[in-house]
Chains A and B, each alone.
Chain A
């Protein structure tokens, strides 16, 4: 086990999809997800997968066909970015509410308008309340590992919810990385056979899926859906523990980097975490006690564990690569603050990197400097700022 190869995030994703070997993939090309679809098409053309590949005419149809395939009893996948996810919106909710175990890589890209093809998290943050599990990935290795684990999480009998596996557009999706991959047979053994619940294609047991659900039942069904999301909090670490046995790579709800003895804490998703880690090492050398919490599981939100991991800090800076336009900070900020409710720790929000604006170690250092000042003075002048913006 453990072959090391050089792959981009998209190549790693396409490879994981080939190894998962789904029964059906329905997908539509969009920058920067496009080469996932291209690589997968080649696997189909070369007979390397058993997949029926449905080259739909839009993302709305991509998600619609994926829902149909999953309801039929197939292991079904799609992949998208940005506007594609936005166009799917209606059916994204339906996939979760019909409790279909679909797995979808999402290559994060800013939403229009203005049109922009580069990374931010406005696309998947917009879908955070759609009922999908969301896993975020710092690099190609995590995108690969998360995708394989996602199949097990989605298909677990107590969960039965779709999973988005997010990685940063271009930064991760097109950056070449050194990653360790599994053998095809190991992936197949790990994910096992899909055991579909109530498939349409059972001739002995016809089913009605997607009935009209009125005042006397809708609330109960939504409650069950919420329970499935709670169950995911239990199942995600179980799957991760098994994956760690196979690969030696550990995955929690989040990664803590030099956090336990830190006074200043940063919270950031995806590729920026790598940049921040490098800056933390520099700052630690000069005696600054700074650490990072990088959420991997954003839906469900492991609120209790987040709180426990952050409670010892003197100040917290949340980096949001999306705005919620609530005039009260970005989506990650409000969730972290909510998890810390009642704690007397100043939490600041830095909305940064929108539309792919570069984020460097210097930027991470500047943010730590601002947080250090808050820790010293105990005063927060403005909790929500747009980092690096030209005002």
Chain B
């Protein structure tokens, strides 16, 4: 496990001066992920359209101190699979000598929804890349529209709380399990509150002999409606309530990597955010129970499958 001192000494690949919102989880996730790279490793980043892309590369500026490509919204994985194929071809021909790693970043919209086919194809084909979804649970870039990663009950601009409908009516898609079902060498869920767990997992993903998928929680102060100073606290609550379990799937074997000392009720996570405020009105309390039931079932399932640590 790396120490904080070691990690903080490693180069910052995402330069300051970008225009992400104060308190945004995404650049925190990106910086921690890039800290898993060794100094002798070069990296090409593929970025789906989204907050991270638009805010870090406003021409003629860029925050990326590595090679970076944005193609479109739904095709970060396909684009990077082309880059990686080119690398294998040119390396074999002796035209490229340096060691390169390949990391894709997409939000939940670009990954769970519009980019799912592209991602699935790239993983099945076995391209050696780490695909990172920074999951903030909605289309934040276009103004907080629901995605398939949006939790049950959340108030978004396309699942608004109205007189008859109390926010999003469907539970979230479990993308991490979908990726695990691709039987790729490495799949993990991470949160930047647990930086040590995160960096360790990303290193495993980079060293995997094949594709790897990382689902990273990246709270959005505007979309979730909390104070921008509390981003890491939101992550901690998500982990401690088991709303966002930290686990990995290595060659099909599940391992829960962080077990909360005391599993908090999911209310603790929900009540901290404005997007769930309406759930605490008496007529909507049943939705909290539903969310709790979903969280409990998932957590029990993970523990049952997890190797005894």
**Contact of A130 with B by CB under 8 A:** no
Q: Is the CB of B82 within 8 A of A66?
A: yes
Q: Mark B56-91, 1 if CB is under 8 A from A, else 0.
A: 011110101111111110110011111111111110
Residues of B within 8 A of A210 (CB): 47, 57, 69-71
**Contact of B46 with A by CB under 8 A:** yes
How far, in Å, is A80 (CB) from chain B's closest CB?
15
Q: Is the CB of B124 within 8 A of A214?
A: no
Q: Is the CB of B89 within 8 A of A206?
A: no
**Contact of B306 with A by CB under 8 A:** no
Q: Is the CB of B93 within 8 A of A71?
A: no
How far, in Å, is B174 (CB) from chain A's closest CB?
21
**Contact of B92 with A by CB under 8 A:** yes
Residues of B within 8 A of A66 (CB): 82
**Contact of B125 with A by CB under 8 A:** yes
How far, in Å, is A294 (CB) from chain B's closest CB?
35
How far, in Å, is A67 (CB) from chain B's closest CB?
6
Known: A61-B118, A208-B57, A212-B57. A51 touches B64 (CB 8 A): no
**A43 CA to B121 CA, complexed, in Å:** 23
Known: A23-B90, A201-B87, A214-B58. A69 touches B67 (CB 8 A): no
**Contact of A207 with B by CB under 8 A:** yes
**Contact of A227 with B by CB under 8 A:** no
* Interchain CB contact (< 8 A) of B86 among A23, A58, A207, A217: A23
The residue in B75, B89, B93, B121 that gathers the most chain A C-beta atoms within 10 A of its C-beta is B89
The residue in A50, A64, A212 that gathers the most chain B C-beta atoms within 10 A of its C-beta is A64
Residues of A within 8 A of B83 (CB): 68-69, 71-72, 200-201
**Contact of A287 with B by CB under 8 A:** no
Segment 195-240 of A: residues with Cβ below 8 Å from B: 200-203, 206-214, 217
Q: Is the CB of A201 within 8 A of B75?
A: no
Nearest B residue to A57 via CB reads: B121
Number of chain A residues whose Cβ lies closer than 8 Å to a Cβ of chain B: 42
Q: Is the CB of A68 within 8 A of B90?
A: no
Q: Is the CB of B80 within 8 A of A50?
A: no
Q: Is the CB of A207 within 8 A of B85?
A: no
Q: Is the CB of B58 within 8 A of A69?
A: no
Q: Is the CB of B70 within 8 A of A209?
A: yes
Q: Is the CB of A217 within 8 A of B60?
A: yes
Residues of B within 8 A of A213 (CB): 59
Q: Is the CB of A24 within 8 A of B72?
A: no
**Contact of A83 with B by CB under 8 A:** no
**A90 CA to B72 CA, complexed, in Å:** 8
Residues of A within 8 A of B84 (CB): 68
**A211 CA to B81 CA, complexed, in Å:** 19
Q: Is the CB of B75 within 8 A of A211?
A: no
**A57 CA to B118 CA, complexed, in Å:** 7
Q: Is the CB of A68 within 8 A of B86?
A: yes
Nearest A residue to B19 via CB reads: A212
Q: Is the CB of A65 within 8 A of B69?
A: no
Q: Is the CB of B82 within 8 A of A208?
A: no
How far, in Å, is B79 (CB) from chain A's closest CB?
4
Known: A54-B125, A206-B67, A217-B59. A73 touches B86 (CB 8 A): yes
Q: Is the CB of A200 within 8 A of B82?
A: no
Q: Is the CB of B68 within 8 A of A68?
A: no
Known: A208-B64, A214-B58. A61 touches B86 (CB 8 A): no
Q: Is the CB of B72 within 8 A of A50?
A: no
Q: Mark A258-283, 1 if CB is under 8 A from B, else 0.
A: 00000000000000000000000000
**A50 CA to B95 CA, complexed, in Å:** 12
* Interchain CB contact (< 8 A) of B87 among A61, A72, A76, A206: A72
Residues of A within 8 A of B44 (CB): 72, 200-201
Residues of B within 8 A of A72 (CB): 44, 82-83, 86-87, 90
Q: Is the CB of B85 within 8 A of A65?
A: yes
**A146 CA to B95 CA, complexed, in Å:** 28
Q: Is the CB of A214 within 8 A of B59?
A: yes
* Interchain CB contact (< 8 A) of B120 among A57, A67, A69, A71: A57
**Contact of B98 with A by CB under 8 A:** yes
Q: Is the CB of A69 within 8 A of B71?
A: no
Q: Is the CB of A200 within 8 A of B89?
A: no
Known: A64-B79, A217-B60. A54 touches B85 (CB 8 A): yes
**Contact of B96 with A by CB under 8 A:** yes
**Contact of A55 with B by CB under 8 A:** yes
Residues of B within 8 A of A110 (CB): none
**A134 CA to B46 CA, complexed, in Å:** 29
Q: Is the CB of A91 within 8 A of B71?
A: yes
**A67 CA to B70 CA, complexed, in Å:** 10
**Contact of A335 with B by CB under 8 A:** no
Q: Is the CB of A65 within 8 A of B87?
A: no
The residue in B59, B69, B86, B93 that gathers the most chain A C-beta atoms within 10 A of its C-beta is B86
Q: Is the CB of B121 within 8 A of A61?
A: yes
Residues of B within 8 A of A50 (CB): 89, 92-93
Residues of A within 8 A of B69 (CB): 68, 71, 200, 208-210
Known: A206-B65, A211-B58. A56 touches B70 (CB 8 A): no
Q: Is the CB of A212 within 8 A of B53?
A: yes
**A54 CA to B82 CA, complexed, in Å:** 8
Known: A24-B82, A60-B75. A52 touches B67 (CB 8 A): no
Residues of B within 8 A of A150 (CB): none
Residues of A within 8 A of B64 (CB): 206, 208
Q: Is the CB of B86 within 8 A of A94?
A: no
Q: Is the CB of B72 within 8 A of A74?
A: no
Besides the known contacts A57-B117, A74-B85, 17 further A-B residue pairs in the complex with CB atoms under 8 A apart? A24-B89, A56-B78, A64-B71, A64-B78, A66-B82, A67-B79, A67-B82, A68-B80, A69-B83, A73-B96, A74-B89, A207-B68, A208-B68, A210-B71, A211-B62, A212-B57, A214-B58
22 contacts between A and B (CB under 8 A): A26-B81, A51-B89, A52-B85, A52-B86, A52-B89, A56-B78, A57-B121, A60-B118, A64-B79, A68-B46, A68-B79, A68-B84, A68-B85, A73-B86, A74-B85, A94-B72, A206-B42, A209-B67, A209-B69, A210-B47, A211-B58, A212-B57
Residues of A within 8 A of B (CB): 23-24, 26, 50-52, 54-58, 60-61, 64-74, 76, 90-91, 94, 200-203, 206-214, 217
